Structure 1
Amino acid sequence: MSWLTKVRERLPFAPKRETADNLWIKCPRCQEMIFVKEYEANGNVCPKCDHHGRIGADRRLEMLFDEGFRLLPSPEVTEDPLKFKDTKPYPARLKAARTANPHRDAFTAGIGTVEGHQAVIGVQDFMFMGGSMGMAVGDAFVFAAQAAIDARCGFVCVTAAGGARMQEGILSLMQMPRATVMTRRLKEKGLPYIVVLADPTTGGVTASYAMLGDVHVAEPGALIGFAGQRVIQETIREQLPEGFQRAEYLHKHGMVDMVVHRNELKQTLASLLGYLSPAQAA
């Protein structure tokens, strides 16, 4: 940032102007410069190489729901139950994440329709502390799944996480069985549970509700796995194939049912909800 820009921002009579810094974005894959408005209009997908960039929870819900959906309330949980501190106290990390994000934690859910099919959609936002799964995420998932049961409709979960939230220790890991129980309850009621695997989906999230869906849909190029490639290679002492944790490789080997472009995702989910939702759930 130049000294002139810094001075202009301090002047009350000088409105902020668009500059090259906020008009263009460089694609991390093809390195092409993309007009930001074109990039956002394309759902944060590069128009040159189709690289799927990460996307926030609100934008994701707007893209998947029809107009008129409503957000579900975020459950209140005990914060910093372990009084955890690393280089910073856990409350300071939460405060910083909430300042930079519109929601109080990494999981946001809403209820509405997807091309006329009623559904609850929960979105994990990687931009909030890496989408890490703590008590707030676990409670929000349970609450969203119960909302789907109460409304007798399908539940769609869009995952994007680095795993469990280490600042909450064993309490974070306990969210895995809690979420697993809710997926079982959905199945018992005959309600579809559809998972959309976004980049990245790793760790304890992959080891629990991310891989328990009736159908698993992945976005192109999404990183999906439990441990990282280097950790696995050092453990088994073998070289792993290129892209073995990417959506296309997992689809080829049967771990993912389909890989769907973001701009076609809403239509795909509507079709799945139409096929899988019973006329009248018990």
Structure 2
Amino acid sequence: MEYATKLQEYAPAPSAEEVDAEVARIREAALRNMNVETCKFCYSAIDLTTLSCNDSEESVTRFAERAVAFYKDYPEIPNVASICIYPSFVETVGVAVDGTPMRITSVAGGFPAAQTFLEVKMLEVSMAVENGADEVDIVLNVGKMLKGHYDEAANEVEMIRGEMGEEITLKVIIESGALKSPDLIRKASLLSMFAGTDFVKTSTGKIDVAATPEAAVVMCRAIRDYYEKTGRKVGFKAAGGVRTPEDAVLYYTIVEEILGKEWLTTDLFRIGASSAANNLLSTIVGHDVKYF
């Protein structure tokens, strides 16, 4: 399908100066949200992540079992939304979380570079789903975006979306730190939505520049504009470098200010994190906790 022409139906990206001003305003607004209740919600929105070269069945099992134990250890705090792992560990996590409401998120499609054959991406995604993934995070082809091959990048997402089935949640990582400019970040977000994603996600966490408030503002504005034209709500996920409660609350406030409180559910807002979980939990309970 030709997607690039649809970009012309939307206003251009805000300037870098406009984005900076918006971020400064929202940083001030975020101060009102720095409280235990907001931190509890941010904790419940986490895709608890382990994406390391030294992951193993044993380490991932321990990781998942620890997350499941949270239901018993902290029954007054909503647990994380999902556990995010490489595709080969989907079945391992499935065994550990069986009988709980926790979802299983798999990165796939040649994560983190997405530089492999489309057929390989589609096969990896389908195998992750077959093994029990509820959600799949893929990477938009950054090389194609940087060279202006917008239709090719979006059509890859469309093909993968079709391979998954509509019941699986798709999150498309635009790797905002590589795209850099508000223009490309906005285009990547819109193209991903045109092609059927359920979430637009900032980053893989595998390059130097991960999530930034500036990218989040541009992405959330694109989500808002797409919703106003289509009536379809697409979620936002901040990932990569989200470590402190202040980081999490800032992204929460960006969503609140641009998209509204109706987006502040775990169906439409996620945080990809590992260290942030301990730090949010410490803020919630009022003392230092190293749970994970």
The alignment's TM-score, normalised by the length of structure 2, stands at: 0.33
Point out the structure with the larger helix share: 2
- Comparing both structures, which one devotes a greater share of its residues to strand? 1
Structure with the bigger RCO (C-alpha within 8 Å, sep 6+) is 2
Larger radius of gyration: 1
